[in-house]
Every structure is written in C-alpha cells, then in structure tokens.
Amino acid sequence: MSARNSALAALLAAAAAAAAGPAYAHGFGERYDLPIPLSYFLVGAAAAVALSFVVIGLFLRQGGEAAPYPRRNLLKTPLLGGALSSRWPSLAARAASALVFVIVLSAGLVGTQRPLESISPTFVWIIWWVGMGYVSALLGNLWALVNPWKIVYEWVQKLVREDGDDGEAGLLDYPDGLDVWPAVILFGLFAWLENVYGGASRPFNLSVLILGYSAVTWAGMLTFGKHRWLRHGEVFSVLFGFFARFSPTEVRVSERARCESCASGCGLDDECVDCYECFDAAGPGARELNVRPYAVGLAQVKRVSPAAAVLVAAAVATVTFDGIMETSVWVGVQTQLFGAADALFGTNALEAIDTLGLLAVPALFLALYLLFSGAVRSLSGESAPVTEVARAYVFSLIPIALAYNLAHFLSLLLIQGQLIIPLASDPFGAGWDILGTAGYDPNIAIVNARFVWFLSVIAIVAGHAAAVYVAHVVAHRRQRDRARALRGQYPMLALMVGYTAVSLWIIAQPIVEG
C-alpha cells in the first residue's frame, strides 16, 4: 500500500467514518450503487470518445507544418500586465516556496515521526505532488516559478558569482545523447517510492530523500548549467512542463536571435514557446505570457526524443498501476505470487510483487503503444520508422494521464488535503497553534462516492476527447492527404476507446466493491 493510501486509511479510521482498508483508500471505503450497470457506463464512455473523433474530423481540417491557435498576451493587458510584470509577486512567491521547503525538510528531521501529525507526508504526497500536477495542467507551469531547488541555487549563484559571469554555464557540456534519460531514471525511482515503498510516509525518511534529491539536483545544475539540468534532469521540471503544455497559458519569446543562441535547443523550432532559459534572458518587450485554448500546446510539439516519449508513456502507465493496486484483481495477483515472493524476499514479499507490477505495467503499455503506432504507420502509408511515429503521437497521451489523475486523486486531495489546515499551525507536531487552526477537524464528507464517480466519467471522457484532438492535429501535420491522415488515426482511436473503458473500470472498483 502506498504512503498516501496508508495515511488516508489512518485518517478515515481515526474519524470512524468507514472501515479503512488498503483497496479502498481513494474510494472512502464507501460503496455506491451505480444507477445503471457498469458495463453501460463503459460502453457509453467509449462511444462518446468515438463520437468525438467524428466531430473533430468534420470540423478540424487543417494540415501543414503549423496549426495556428488564438492567443492573447496578458503582459499587454492593462493593469493585469503591470501586476504580472512586477518583480514583487514573483519575489513573494519564491520566498514563500523556499520557506515551505525549509519547514517541510526540518519537520521531517527534528519534528514528530507520527505521519499524520507531521506536515511532511501530507504536504509532499498530497498538496505538492497531487496539487502541483493539477495546477500545471489547469493553470500553467507554476513550478517553473516556485521550484525551491532552482530558487536556492539562484540565490547562492548571486552570492558567489564573479563580475561578467552570467551564471548559466556549467562545468561541463551536457551530452546530447543523454537527453532526458536522467529524468526518466529519477521518475522511475520516484514512482517506486510513491507506489511501493512503505517507509515513504515516515517524516524522517522523507527528509532524507529530499536531501538526497537536493544533492543530485544542485550537482546537476553546477555540472551542466541551471537551465540545461532543469530541462533534462530535474524530473519534476520536465514532467510538470509536459503537463503545462495542456494548460491555457504559455510563455513565448519573440526575439529570434535570443532563441538561436539558446543552449536548450529551442532555436531549432519555428517559434520559441515554453523555453524558460530564453524567457529569463529576453528583454521585457520580447516576453509574452499568453492565454490560449486548452490542449493546443501539446499539438505544437514537433520534436519528441525517445527518452521524452518513454517518460510520457511511463507517467500514463504508473498512474494506471496505482489504480490497479486498489482493485481485487491486484489482491488476487498478490495472493498467487505471495508464496514464491515470501520464499525469496521474506517480509518484503509484497513490496517485491508491487515492484514487479510497477515494472511490468509500463513495459506492457509501451509495447502496446508501439504496436498501435505500427498500425498507424501502415494505414497512413508513412515511410518513417515505427518508433518515429510513436514519438510523434506520444503527447496525445498526456490528456489521458491528466484525466486519470483527476479521477483517481481528487478525493485524496479534497479529503486528506484538509490535514494541511491544522498542520500549518503545528508543522512539527509540537503542540503549537501558530495560525489558530490546530483544532480543525477534516470534513471527510466533503465529497462522496457518487460525486467522484460522475466526475471521473466526465474527466476521463473529456481527457480522451482532448487526446483525439491532439492526435488529429499531429496526423494532419504529418500527412497532407486528408483521407490517409484519417485512416491512420483509426488504430490510435481504438487504443483510446479501449483505454477509456479500462480506466473507468479501474476507477469503479473501489466504489462498486466497497
């Protein structure tokens, strides 16, 4: 059982609201009788995604190298533009982020080691990890502003920087072949900590892990340069940046000369969008902070590296595995494998089984995705290798990951996330009441299973419809013949329709089995 699940189960048990159990951490331990059979929901949701393909195919006919979209520069908007251009809101946000970082780290090292009485587990696993993903997708890349590792590094840079040194150069050039593989490796380790490692909810363990990741991040920035490591090795900058491509905001730089000299390689694209190295270095008149329609940023990505494609696929698959772990199916798998695992690993048998699942599910998902990409290649008449086709379409998976995240974790954020209110007054579990909120009792009835179920249906269908849109734009950019472009999308549509049904089935299990 993951760190988040065990903490929420403890909260529910303490509140005597329901019987806590490992399979029902996100489902409140509450059964909800669906108004119609589950199979009807699955078929209806799949049909809605298929219908979205027809509608998008009728109304979206553009092709070629670029798909234009409406946008408005908020920095040019009266009053709002002045507020966004001011340095004071940014300074306040950065200072607050650094302060929270120090509090969370210190609470784990010297505060109480009872997970529900320390701010560390709730903040890290609920407020930050779940909440920042939502913010990145629904609003924009706030992480680029409040990343505490970046903030602390920049403050130290200013103290030690010599005259004439812009502080951007690292000790070594970042190897081109390394790409974002460091981020992929770090994501795999993080996913294991989140989904498998039972000690991840212990405050001291969390602080040790944070210190270790801090050392890796600051060493990477020092060795290869701040922006290069943020773009390639700092896994949360990479992942939240992917999520922010779905969001209704973007940063853009109009100075082509600035972009052509960018070490991150954005000068290779036609437009400089979401490159924070260029945005930081550009003059005020060349900066844009635009609002745009949701999901269009995903369709503009023309060059996706193999490592980035693997990271996207892994992000989709691991959140799916998190959901599978809460079903009776996975309990059956654990039961079947427990004897052999117990003989090999003893008391770590369940962690070994879960680790195997964490490796197997992304591998199977990636193999399945490559299989469908091969079908896309065949039906569209493309001559490019299957791996290139897979990389071209992989960002269409991001809306699916975001939708599943919303469906799977919203109840966790709304219920267990309330713990941050009393913990803000007593982050170390020392009996303080700094803000006067230490006596707050979480309202576990703030949402119920019925609300979560219908929101899940809407989110998953909408996410898959957005994925269909992104895939449609990519197909027309790669294939000017409209008939071939449409024909080539059928396998990807089949994958999305099938994944819609599977996602809803997984979400339904903690509710209908309760």
Round to whole Å and give the CA distance between 133 and 8.
Answer: 19
Render 288-303 in DSSP notation, one character per residue: EEEE--TTHHHHT---
Examine the pLDDT at 58 and tell me if it is beyond 80.
Answer: no
Angle at 409 between CA 46 and CA 514, to 5 degrees: 75
Question: Please, are residues 245 and 216 in contact by the beta-carbon 8 Å criterion?
Answer: no
pTM score, whole prediction: 0.89
Round to whole Å and give the CA distance between 230 and 149.
Answer: 10
Round to whole Å and give the CA distance between 469 and 55.
Answer: 10
User: Quick one: what percent of the chain has pLDDT higher than 90?
Assistant: 52
Round to whole Å and give the CA distance between 209 and 508.
Answer: 33
Token couple for 210: 């944070």
Question: Please, are residues 468 and 496 in contact by the beta-carbon 8 Å criterion?
Answer: yes
Round to whole Å and give the CA distance between 496 and 504.
Answer: 12
Which residues, other chains included, contact 100 with Cβ-Cβ below 8 Å and sequence gap of 6+?
123, 148
Examine the pLDDT at 146 and tell me if it is beyond 90.
Answer: yes
Per-residue pLDDT of 429-457, as tens digits, reads: 999 999 999 999 989 888 887 888 888 88
Q: Measuring CA to CA, which residue among 50, 60, 42, 59 is closest to residue 494?
A: 50
> Can you list the alpha helix ranges (DSSP code H) found in 381-448?
386-393, 398-415, 420-425
CA distances from 471 to 239, 395, 400 (A): 20, 8, 12
Task: Please compute the mean of the pLDDT values over residues 136-159 and round it to a whole number.
Answer: 94
Q: Hey, where are the domains in the chain? A: 32-248+292-512
Round to whole Å and give the CA distance between 384 and 304.
Answer: 14
Per-residue pLDDT of 316-366, as tens digits, reads: 999 999 989 988 899 999 999 999 999 999 889 999 999 999 999 999 999
Query: Model confidence at 381, in pLDDT bands (50, 70, 90)?
Result: confident
Report which of residues 378 and 6 the model is more confident about. 378
pLDDT (0 to 100) of residue 13? 40
pLDDT (0 to 100) of residue 176? 85
149: exposed, middle or buried (Cβ count in 10 Å: 0-12, 13-18, 19+): buried
